[in-house]
Amino acid sequence: MVSQTVDLLRSELPLEQGSVVLGEDGETGLVLVDIINGFCTVGAGNLAPREPNEQISSMVEESSRLARLFCDKKWPVLAFLDSHQPDKPEDPYPPHCITGTDESNLVPALRWIEKEPNVTIRRKDCYDGYLGSFESDGSNVFVDWVKKNQIKTMLVVGICTDICVLDFVCSTLSARNLGFLKPLKDVIVYSRGCATFDVPLHIARNTKGAMAHPQEMMHHVGLYMAKERGAKIVDQVSLGGKEEP
């Protein structure tokens, strides 16, 4: 039944995906959204997968591969890390990714980027990395990153496709359209480098306060809505003429 519903969704909301070849001009930036233990590592917290999940594992693998390629080329990378204070809940979700816990740290496959000179780490306390980049003086770490590195193309990967990735992409596109992010032109979401969580309907019905969140459907919806806002959705990425599998 679930697979039939997903097929119906895809037929009613068809999503054409392209491919992208990123040039060697250094004008491309990579954004990693919340690829942390609390969302990706089995059993790591209230919002972590309860068992190994193919979509999440694939996302981590693809994101790690891209991060390595970007770092090898010394291209700019920005990593958002969801990090909350214990006295500031993020409804409707249970406590998660509390600052100072391993939940809010990068997954083991990406911990190495913390020592890379081309990588900027930004801990945020909200869904949206754009809003979560504001400092108390009104400056914005993400905006400064785009302008400092003269980023014209931005490649986005991470979790969750339909929540933090989508919120960040939508805010970024609005800011770009208003001229706040010059010289940014293109926002590209790599579908194979994104993932979301899975709460089947039968689980939600038997869990107080839970909402159904079928993984494949919500992943598709997140990508569709990002494209609807103006993002480019791709399932193939090539760097320097080398196509990623």
With beta carbons less than 8 A apart as the criterion, state whether 155 and 192 touch: no
d(CA 167, CA 227): 12
Residue 124 has pLDDT above 60, yes or no: yes
Please report how the helices 215-229 and 2-12 are oriented relative to each other, as an axis angle in degrees rounded to 10.
10
- Token pair for residue 10? 């895809």
119 CB neighbour count, 10 Å cutoff: 19
Q: What is the pLDDT of residue 1?
A: 57
Q: Which residues pair with 119 in a beta bridge?
A: 77
With beta carbons less than 8 A apart as the criterion, state whether 187 and 150 touch: no
The predicted-structure confidence for 196-210, as pLDDT tens digits, reads as follows 988 776 777 777 777
The predicted-structure confidence for 104-120, as pLDDT tens digits, reads as follows 999 999 999 999 999 99
Share of the chain above pLDDT 90, in %: 71
d(CA 245, CA 237): 8
- Return the half-sphere exposure (C-beta side, CA atoms, 13 A cut-off) of residue 118: 17
pTM: 0.93
Sign of CA dihedral 113, 119, 122, 126: negative
Question: Following DSSP, what letter does each residue of 46-104 receive, concatenated?
Answer: TTS-SS--HHHHHHHHHHHHHHHHHHHTT--EEEEEE-B-TTS--TTSPS-SBTTSGGG
Q: What is the pLDDT of residue 85?
A: 84
Q: Which residue has the tokens 């919120």?
A: 167
The predicted-structure confidence for 153-187, as pLDDT tens digits, reads as follows 999 999 999 999 999 999 999 999 999 999 999 99
- Mean pLDDT for the chain? 91
The Cα-based distances of 227 to 54, 131, 186, 220 in angstroms read 24, 20, 12, 11
With beta carbons less than 8 A apart as the criterion, state whether 159 and 40 touch: yes
